[in-house]
Chains A and B, each alone.
Chain A
Amino acid sequence: DVKVTQSSRYLVKRTGEKVFLECVQDMDHENMFWYRQDPGLGLRLIYFSYDVKMKEKGDIPEGYSVSREKKERFSLILESASTNQTSMYLCASTKGGKLFFGSGTQLSVL
Chain B
Amino acid sequence: GQQVMQIPQYQHVQEGEDFTTYCNSSTTLSNIQWYKQRPGGHPVFLIQLVKSGEVKKQKRLTFQFGEAKKNSSLHITATQTTDVGTYFCAGPRGSSNTGKLIFGQGTTLQVKP
Instruction: Assess the B33–A33 pair: CB atoms within 8 A.
Output: no
A contacts with B, residue count (CB < 8 A): 24
Instruction: Assess the B100–A48 pair: CB atoms within 8 A.
Output: yes
The residue on B at minimum CB distance from A58 is B100
The residue on A at minimum CB distance from B30 is A97
B contacts with A, residue count (CB < 8 A): 24
Question: Between A and B, how many residue pairs show CB distances below 8 Å?
Answer: 59
Given A31-B98, A40-B9, also A97-B31 (CB < 8 A): yes
- Interface status of B28 (Cβ within 8 A of chain A): no
- Interface status of A21 (Cβ within 8 A of chain B): no
Contact with A along B93-113 (1 / 0, CB 8 A): 000011111111110000000
Select which of B41, B44, B45, B88 is within 8 A of A43 by beta carbon.
B88
Contact residues of A between 87 and 104, Cβ < 8 Å to B: 90, 92-94, 97-104
Instruction: Assess the A99–B43 pair: CB atoms within 8 A.
Output: yes
Contact with B along A21-54 (1 / 0, CB 8 A): 0000000000101010000111111001010000
Measured CB to CB, the residues of A under 8 A from B are 31, 33, 35, 40-45, 48, 50, 58, 90, 92-94, 97-104
Q: What are some 17 contacts across the A-B interface (CB < 8 A)?
A: A40-B105, A41-B105, A43-B90, A45-B101, A48-B98, A48-B100, A58-B100, A90-B43, A97-B33, A97-B48, A97-B98, A98-B45, A99-B33, A99-B45, A99-B90, A100-B45, A103-B41
Measured CB to CB, the residues of B under 8 A from A are 6, 9, 31, 33, 35, 41-45, 48, 88, 90, 92, 97-106
